[in-house]
Structure 1
Amino acid sequence: MQTTEQRAMLKELQQADFVVVELTLYTNTHPDDMEGLEQWRLAIKEAARARKAYEKRFGPISYHSIPSEQALETGWRWNQAPWPWQM
């Protein structure tokens, strides 16, 4: 069962990832917009920060994640419950 803190951090991460996707689409169609490109760079940094904070507290969010220190210490295994979306 997710805690209020975990749900809030996951929502923040999902929002940050959404912004990256939208700005990626925008910069693909507006390659000369330097302000858009800068916003995209900042969005990537923010999404990375949110992901790192979430994973430090709750463990890996996807198989693409480099295992966090916590995951290594607790012996996180993807084939063992609970999975991140079940917590």
Structure 2
Amino acid sequence: MSQKQLPKEFYPLMEELQVVDFVLVELTLYLDTHPNDTAAIQQFNEAAYYRHQLVPQVEQYYGPLQQFGNSYSSYPWNWDDAPWPWQL
């Protein structure tokens, strides 16, 4: 499988997405034990909103990030395009 060249702009976007995903995981764990913390809920919702804005930008360079209808595919079908997220 050949690996496509990614523009340099891709890497900061992917790093930002990884940071936001980390924040969302940590806030989820915190909120599981502190469900009434309104400030944490607000932080979670802001991070989730930001992630929804960021994903299309990352997918513009990389292609779809999620399967099962959460991301669109361009033509031709590009789910098998390398590099995959764990190969970066």
Whether 2:64 is the aligned partner of 1:63: answer no
TM-score (norm 2): 0.75
- Secondary structure of residue in 2 paired with 1:40: helix
- Answer 1 or 2: higher relative contact order, Cα 8 Å, separation at least 6: 2
Specify the alignment match of 2:49 in structure 1: 45
Query: Where has structure 1 moved over 4 Å in runs of 4 or more?
Result: none
Identify, as 1 or 2, the structure richer in helix. Answer: 1
Residue identity in the other structure for 1:33: D
TM-score (norm 1): 0.76
CA RMSD, 1 decimal: 2.1
* Count of residue pairs the alignment pairs up: 82
List alignment gaps of at least 5 residues for structure 2.
Answer: none
1:52 is displaced (CA, Å) by 1.8
Specify the alignment match of 1:82 in structure 2: 82
